[in-house]
Amino acid sequence: MQRRSVLPIAVVLALIAFAVSGTAMAHHSNARFDRCHLFTLAGEIERVTWHNPHVELAFRGNEGTAYTIVWLNLQQLKRDGVEPGALRVGDRIEITGAKQPEDNLHVIALLTAIWRPSDGWRWSRPPQGC
């Protein structure tokens, strides 16, 4: 009976796992956001998209600039007690988060707080460090 080596199969499987994990990590990279300089912005929600990989808000700041707000994924928000419908179009909110250094992109992520003054609804998480 001839014995086969399992080493080549293990190497191939390891390479596949490495390639897939690298892609997943690249998707979740927040390196482009300046987590050391969080800021708070007030304005109105123009659209809410409750989908994975992240819930997104189209947001117009009080100064008139349109922003894309990248929140957490549905499961993370559910663990935080946030269900779809918690935020709606027309809600006036204040958000605290990090923005990209390129001001022309107007994307905010790594949110640490959302507050709706009209009824006091609040969501928050500790900052992710500098």
Q: What angle do CA 99, 101, 107 make, to 5 degrees?
A: 35
Give the distance from CA 44 to its chain's centroid. 19
CB-count exposure of residue 66 (10 Å: 0-12, 13-18, 19+): exposed
Model pLDDT for residues 88-97, shown as the tens digit of each residue: 999 999 999 9
Please give the model's pTM, rounded to 2 decimal places: 0.73
At 23, the pLDDT band (50, 70, 90 cuts) reads: very low
Model pLDDT for residues 111-121, shown as the tens digit of each residue: 999 999 999 99
Domains of the chain, each with CATH number or no CATH:
39-124 (2.40.50.1010)
Q: What is the 3-state secondary structure (H, E, C) of the chain?
A: CCCCCCHHHHHHHHHHHHHHHHHHHHHCCCCCCCCCCCEEEEEEEEEEECCCCCCEEEEEECCCCEEEEECCCHHHHHHCCCCCCCCCCCCEEEEEEEECCCHHHCEEEEEEEEEECCCCEEEECCCCCC
